[in-house]
Every structure is written in C-alpha cells, then in structure tokens.
A and B are shown apart, each in its own frame.
Chain A
Amino acid sequence: MTNTGTDVEAGDRQGAETAQAAPRRLSPLAIVIMVIVLALLGVLGLQLIEANRSQPTGGPAPDFTLQIFDALGGGTFTLSENRGKVIVINFWASWCAPCRDEAPALQQVWEAYRARGDVVLLGVDYVDNTQDALAYIAEFGITYPNGPDLGTRISDAYHIQGVPETFVIGKDGNVFQFIYAGVTARDLAAIIDRALAQ
C-alpha cells in the first residue's frame, strides 16, 4: 500500500501493526456503549408509538375517578364501580366554542335518560378554571355530574386531541363508541339506545 508520507500516519501504522495481533474481544466499555445506544433507540421508539396513539374506539375503557363539583352534588365517581351501566363521558371546557353548541343537547339527553337509573352522563372539564366552569354549568342549566380533570390524567388516558370529544362506555366496561367533536341530541340518544340493547 502506498504511503501518504506524513509522520503522524507513520505513527498510525505502527500502532495498527502492533495491535493487529490482539485477539478480537469485546471490552466491557464497548458493551455498555452498545446497550446505551439500544436503550435510547428503544425509548424513542416507544415514545413514537405512544405519541401516535389515538382515542380508544373499543376494548376496556381506561378507569378513572372524578371529583364532582360541589354545586352538582359533590362526591366522586369511579368508572369501574359503575359497571353494568351505560356511561357517556363528555370532555369539555368553558373556553371551547363547539362545546357550548352541544351543551343544550347533552342536557336534553340527560333529562330523557336520567330516570332509568342505568345511564350516566358525565362531564369531564378539561384544563379549565373552576369559576369559569361553574359559570358555564349555570349558564346551560347543566344538572348531570361534572368534575375537573385534575392533572389532566383522564384526558391523557383517553388520548384526546381536543374538546369536545365524547365516549360511550357499554355495560361491559368496554368503549362502545367514540364521537369526535360535537354531537346532536338525536345521534347521542340513538347510540345510547344501541348500547343499552347490547
């Protein structure tokens, strides 16, 4: 092989020649480096999957506990304790204009199904001020249970991308239907009827 002639390279070749006799063994440091690289790639890959996850449209509904506003009765609501009922979860916020459009429809549906006892309409207030939320509830005369999504845990569990979004949970605890954006009273009633018939 031709020699490009500088002295640094002479040193390089010396080093390489003396070392070529060394057996091929993977040093612990090399293994550590490989593990770190694989671990980092693993985490990034997991995050990619997680970030692309969207709202559940079937399967078991993520469980949660909601603290109800005192003005609507107080107390808590835990999803898993209410199996056997059809539960409609509506994510909303007082600063969300389309939520205001569907609010009367939701209240209407509630009043129609409330007496039955096996349908629950639940409002989850997404990143909102208590004051503004209570004002919104008063404005639309809402009487079904509503509570703040503290720490955004519930909305994270349901991977919502915005408000309003509505999930209908069947009597078996699985997600029956996911409704993106606003819903009308008639459509929601139809979905609840189908869930009840299951």
Chain B
Amino acid sequence: MRADLIQPRNLWWGIRWLVLVAVLFVLPLSVYAQGGGDGQPIREVTDDEVNDISSRLYCPVCENVPLDVCGTAACARWRAQVRTLLEQGKSEDEVIDYFVTQFGQRVVGTPQDPLLNFLAWAVPAGAVIVGAGVVAYALQRWRERATSPALPEAAAEPQTPDDAYRARLERELREEK
C-alpha cells in the first residue's frame, strides 16, 4: 500500500461522485472533439507508466530530446498531459496518436505516416542491397579471372619467426597423435 497516496485518495472518492453526476448532465456540451481535454480520470497511473510512454515521445520544442528525460517546465506539462490521458483510460496508441495530431510527426521516434515510414527504412535497406550486389559482382569477377602466376608480393610477406614456430609446433603436435 502506498502511504503517500492514501490521503488524497479519500478526497478523490468524495469528489468523484459529485463530478460524475455533474458530467452526466453536461456530457452533450463536452469538448471531446478537442481531443481528450475534458474526460474524467478513471484509473490510477504510476510514474513508470507515464515514463514508459514519454520515452517513446519527443519534446515538440527542444530538439531531439525524449519527453521522459526533458527537464523544461513545458515538458513537465506535456508529461502531465500524458498522465491525464492515461487516467482517462486511453491506450498507449491513443496517447501517441493524440500527440502526433497535436504536434506533428516529429514527436515520435519512427514516423507513423506510412510513406515516411517506408522511406525511413527503404533507403538504408536499398543501399545495403545495392552495395552487397556491387561487392558480390566484383568478387565474382576477380574469382573468375584466370589465376595469374602468383604475384611476387605473395611471397614478399616474410613469415615472422613466430609464425614459423607456430606452424612447426602445430605440425609436430599433429604428428604426435
């Protein structure tokens, strides 16, 4: 049982009934169209859950900083927004979609838009395939070339004394068996 939450929780129970009643009358006027601003909390949300989703989002203003790490006051407000949405029972995907609608594609670490997503993956994949093709082609051509008389440099690399010792040792070990 988390001691730090018992006190406010009692208060919450009392208020919630009142609010629930009020909401039933005001529902038609809700601004749900704005995207989750006015729903009511229906569950407890831990810091870890907020961080988990925030780690997949990026601060809309500071460049390239994940939302769970960003230290500015604005980011703290956005994390509070994540918490609010979670408390309303929204799923992870819904929270992420909300942020993308509000702030654009750049708040997620891989683009959600299918075309952009494809581009992001296709270019390196394409480059790897092309590169592999070029290398394979080159290797194949070099392999097929008639083996010319061994170039002088193949013998020019002197066997270091250690290589010679090692080769001799291994030969002797094998012969021993």
Asked if A134 and B37 sit within 8 Å, CB to CB, the answer is: yes
The complex places the Cα of A29 from the Cα of B73 at a distance, in Å, of 53
Q: Is B140 an interface residue (CB 8 A)?
A: no
Question: How many B residues, CB 8 Å from partner?
Answer: 26
Closest approach, in angstroms, between the C-beta of A15 and any C-beta of chain B? Answer: 11
Size category, A interface: 20 to 34
The complex places the Cα of A41 from the Cα of B127 at a distance, in Å, of 18
Interface stretch of the complex, out of B76-84, B116-124, B160-168: B76-84
Asked if A132 and B77 sit within 8 Å, CB to CB, the answer is: yes
| Given A7-B156, A10-B152, A129-B77, CB of A153 within 8 Å of CB of B104 | yes
Q: Report B52-111 residues with CB < 8 Å from chain A CB.
A: 60-61, 73-74, 77-78, 80-81, 84, 100-105
Q: Which of A127, A132, A134, A153 has the most CB of B within 10 A?
A: A127
The complex places the Cα of A153 from the Cα of B104 at a distance, in Å, of 8
Question: What's the A-B contact tally at a CB cutoff of 8 Å?
Answer: 59
B154 to chain A: closest residue by CB = A7
The complex places the Cα of A151 from the Cα of B103 at a distance, in Å, of 4
Chain A binding surface SS class = helix
A93 to chain B: closest residue by CB = B74
| Given A95-B77, A127-B103, A152-B104, CB of A8 within 8 Å of CB of B34 | no
Residues of B within 8 A of A191 (CB): none
Residues of A within 8 A of B84 (CB): 131
The complex places the Cα of A94 from the Cα of B22 at a distance, in Å, of 27
The complex places the Cα of A11 from the Cα of B152 at a distance, in Å, of 8
The complex places the Cα of A3 from the Cα of B152 at a distance, in Å, of 16
Q: Please, could you name 9 A-B residue pairs with CB atoms under 8 Å apart, sorted by A? A: A8-B156, A69-B34, A70-B31, A70-B33, A70-B34, A71-B31, A130-B34, A134-B31, A148-B102
